[in-house]
Structure 1
Amino acid sequence: MRYRHGYFESMNVGKGMLAGLIAGAAGTYVMTKMQPHIKQWTEEMVGGCGSGGSGESELSGGGESSAPATEQVATAVAEPVVQRELSRAEREFGSNAVHYGFGTVMGGVYGVMAEVAPPITGLVGLPAGALLFAVADEAAVPAAGLSDPPSETPMKTHLHGLVSHLVYGATVEICRKILRPLI
């Protein structure tokens, strides 16, 4: 694969990371704001297909009473530090911190990859969003015991997670592409 003329002279991993971090935060924000609409759309598209689960977002834990994976992580990290059970408001805050922190860091990784291997930015970041969905939601979160295995997860939950991460990937790439020349 050929790179554009003068590419290596303009490559700057630090600037790429900074643009990616900012874009990752923006992507997480847009994804979060779009999730209610995505959930409604996936309910209409899939309906009752794959019934047996809660139909919550891709970050839901195993079953209706389980907390989202982000809340489980926040609780596991914070409770030993503060040596008490977190309040509902603290768990919600922690869940958001984990969600935005992860999305921001993944944006930074994407920004570095965009500097080192520009083809990754193809198709407006959609493949990167799909890859993040597959690795995080379909593999890492279930492997860590933070959600049911993919085989036990309703189809609408998979679709919701995939579409959410496609929104994230596209937003990150659009923002990164705008920000990178300004940094």
Structure 2
Amino acid sequence: MRYRHGYFESMNVGKGMLAGLIAGAAGTYVMTKMQPHIKQWTEEMVGGCGSGGSGESERSGGGESSAPATEQVATAVAEPVVQRELSRAEREFGSNAVHYGFGTVMGGVYGVMAEVAPPITGLVGLPAGALLFAVADEAAVPAAGLSDPPSETPMKTHLHGLVSHLVYGATVEICRKILRPLV
């Protein structure tokens, strides 16, 4: 069975993944650059911003650590390997590596999904961005103990994360759509 307009006739999962990986990196970059503006907007909409608030990369951890989730992951992976405590610069570098790595990989997953089930690309990637926010920021990150539970997180933090991921989703879809015929 194939979708209308012959989507399966030109389906190529490898090309979709490549376009998605590149688009995911671009989406992560745009999302990261937009976060200060999104933070300002959410502060105006909801009030002062507390406890992080820029998506999975800035959401403060629960318990002992208030470091961003991405920094906690980078530290947990790197410190046993290098057998010492990471410097502030190394933690920041690791945090960015996790943030961009995750965004790039999620773009690749989206690119494959766009090949297999093209309707997912509807509404310029906004549903995909919202889904990523819900699964990563609202479920996986708190479940892993890397942030407070959603019920204990300020509304402005949720709003900031959601808008950031909507920017990511739209950027990924726009870039994927441009790149897919070129790969």
- Check conservation: 1:22, 1:104, Cα contact below 8 A: yes
Task: State the SS of the aligned residue for 1:38.
Answer: helix
After TM superposition, the structure 1 = structure 2 runs for residues 69-148 of structure 1, keeping only pairs within 5 Å, are: 69-148=69-148
Distance 1:67 1:37, change over 3 A: same
Distance 1:77 1:7, change over 3 A: same
- Check conservation: 1:27, 1:168, Cα contact below 8 A: yes
Shift of 1:9: 2.0
- Check conservation: 1:75, 1:91, Cα contact below 8 A: yes
- Check conservation: 1:121, 1:173, Cα contact below 8 A: yes
Alignment deviations for residues 126-147 of structure 1 (CA, whole Å, 9 cap, x no partner):
0000000000000000000000
Alignment deviations for residues 13-72 of structure 1 (CA, whole Å, 9 cap, x no partner):
000000000000000000000000000000000015999999997532238961000000
Q: Is 61-70 or 11-20 further displaced after alignment?
A: 61-70
Distance 1:149 1:29, change over 3 A: same
Distance 1:39 1:63, change over 3 A: farther
Q: Which runs of 4+ in 1 moved over 2 A?
A: 4-7, 48-60, 62-65
RMSD: 2.6
Shift of 1:82: 0.2
- Check conservation: 1:57, 1:160, Cα contact below 8 A: no
Structure 2 gaps of 5+ residues are: none
Q: Is 5-14 or 61-70 further displaced after alignment?
A: 61-70
TM-score by length of 2: 0.92
TM-score by length of 1: 0.92
Structure 1 gaps of 5+ residues are: none
Q: Is 126-135 or 5-14 further displaced after alignment?
A: 5-14
- Check conservation: 1:58, 1:158, Cα contact below 8 A: no
- Check conservation: 1:18, 1:111, Cα contact below 8 A: yes
- Check conservation: 2:2, 2:8, Cα contact below 8 A: no
Alignment deviations for residues 143-173 of structure 1 (CA, whole Å, 9 cap, x no partner):
0000000000000000000000000000000
Q: Is 1-10 or 55-64 further displaced after alignment?
A: 55-64
Instruction: Report the number of matched residues.
Output: 183
Distance 1:90 1:62, change over 3 A: same
- Check conservation: 1:50, 1:155, Cα contact below 8 A: no
- Check conservation: 2:125, 2:172, Cα contact below 8 A: yes
Distance 1:46 1:2, change over 3 A: farther
